[in-house]
C-alpha cells in the first residue's frame, strides 16, 4: 500500500515525539481535554457563515443542546436543505466546539443549514442515550422544518467517527420507526462494530497505536459506552454492521482513511449497502489516518474530504442523485 502522505507522517512523528499515548492509557478527563485542545490546534481557519445560534431542544434525557448554522439570511418562501451533524469522539468525547470548524465549512460550502447536536456522552450516559438523542434531533428538525425554513424532503444526516456510527443508527431507527425521512447519509470513518472486530483485519493491522487509535482502545470505548457489553455489543443500534438488512436506507457517501483500524468495516458497510440496493459511494483517502477529517489545518486531505462532502451534498440536494465519481 502507499506510504503515509508527508503531512500525516509529520503529524505522526510529532505526536510520538510529544509522548502521545493511546486512549486506553489516558484518564477520561485528560482524554476529553486532549481532544478539545487538539481539535482547536489542528483545525483549519473557520469560515464565516451568516449565523450560528445555540439552542436547547427537548430531548429524551432533558434539554438537548444544538447549534444551528445558516449560510444566508432566510428568504420568505424559501426552503433550504439541512444537514443534522453528529460529532465524533468515541461516544465519550467531543462537543459543539470540537467540530465547530467542520460544521461552519459544510454550511458555507454546501449552502445548507447545519444543525450540530451535542448528544449525551458516556460513561455518564450510556447506550442508548446518544442513539436516542441523535434520532430525537432528526425528529425535531423534521417537525420544525417549516418554522426553520427547511425543505422537509432535503434533510441529510452526517457525522465523523462515532458520529458516523450514529448516522447509521439514526437511519436504522428512522426506517424502523417509520420516519422522519432521511434524504442522504454521510459517514466519515465510522466505527461500525463494538465486538472485538477480529473479522476485520484492519483493526489489528493499524491498531498498534502508531496511527492514533490502538486496538485496545476499542475495548475501552465499549466498556464506557455499554451497560452490558456481552449482551449489547452485537445489537444493530450498537454495532450497525450486524444489521440484517440495509434495504430502504438513504443514499450514502462513505469516507475512509487507509491507515485507520476501521477501514475494512467501512468498506464492508459500503459493499453491503450496494448489495441491498442502496445508492452509495465509497472514497478512501489511502495515505492518512483516522482523525484527518477533523485535523484539516495540518492535513490537507481533511479539507479535501470536507469539500467532497459539501460538493456531494450540494449536488444531491439539487438533483436527487449522487454526483460523478470523486477520487480520494
Contact between 168 and 240 (Cβ < 8 Å) = yes
Rounded to whole angstroms, how far apart are CA atoms 273 and 187? 13
- End-to-end alpha-carbon separation of the chain, Å? 14
Catalytic positions are 161, 260, 290
Chain position carrying cell 472514497: 283
Rounded to whole angstroms, how far apart are CA atoms 69 and 208? 38
Amino acid at each position: 500500500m502507499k506510504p503515509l502522505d508527508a503531512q500525516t507522517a509529520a503529524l505522526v512523528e510529532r505526536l510520538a515525539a510529544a509522548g502521545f499515548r493511546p486512549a486506553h492509557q489516558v484518564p477520561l478527563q485528560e482524554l476529553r481535554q486532549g481532544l478539545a485542545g487538539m481539535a482547536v490546534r489542528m483545525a483549519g481557519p473557520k469560515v464565516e457563515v451568516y449565523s450560528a445560534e445555540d439552542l436547547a431542544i427537548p430531548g429524551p434525557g432533558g434539554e438537548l443542546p444544538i447549534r444551528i448554522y445558516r449560510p444566508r439570511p432566510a428568504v420568505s418562501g424559501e426552503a433550504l436543505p439541512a444537514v443534522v451533524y453528529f460529532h465524533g469522539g468515541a461516544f465519550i468525547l467531543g462537543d459543539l466546539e470540537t467540530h465547530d470548524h467542520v460544521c461552519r465549512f459544510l454550511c458555507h460550502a454546501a449552502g445548507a443549514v447545519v444543525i450540530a447536536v451535542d448528544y449525551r456522552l458516556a460513561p455518564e450516559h450510556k447506550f442508548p442515550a446518544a442513539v436516542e438523542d441523535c434520532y430525537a434531533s432528526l425528529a425535531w428538525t423534521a417537525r420544525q422544518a417549516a418554522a426553520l425554513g427547511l425543505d422537509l424532503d432535503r434533510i441529510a444526516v452526517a457525522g465523523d467517527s462515532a458520529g458516523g456510527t450514529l448516522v447509521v443508527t439514526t437511519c436504522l431507527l428512522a426506517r424502523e420507526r417509520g420516519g422522519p425521512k432521511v434524504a442522504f447519509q454521510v459517514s466519515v470513518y465510522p466505527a461500525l462494530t463494538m465486538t472485538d472486530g477480529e473479522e476485520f483485519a484492519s483493526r489489528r493491522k493499524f491498531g498498534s497505536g502508531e496511527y492514533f487509535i490502538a486496538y485496545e482502545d476499542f475495548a475501552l470505548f465499549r466498556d464506557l459506552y455499554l451497560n452490558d457489553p456481552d449482551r449489547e455489543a452485537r445489537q444493530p443500534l450498537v454495532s450497525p454492521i450486524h444489521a440484517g438488512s440495509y434495504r430502504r436506507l438513504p443514499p450514502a457517501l462513505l469516507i475512509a482513511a487507509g491507515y485507520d483500524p476501521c477501514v475494512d468495516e467501512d468498506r464492508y458497510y459500503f459493499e453491503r449497502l450496494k448489495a441491498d440496493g442502496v445508492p452509495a459511494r465509497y472514497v478512501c483517502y489511502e495515505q492518512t489516518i483516522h482523525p484527518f477529517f477533523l485535523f484539516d489545518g495540518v492535513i490537507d486531505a481533511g479539507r479535501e474530504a470536507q469539500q467532497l462532502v459539501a460538493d456531494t451534498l450540494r449536488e444531491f440536494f439539487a438533483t436527487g442523485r449522487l454526483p460523478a465519481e470523486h477520487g480520494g
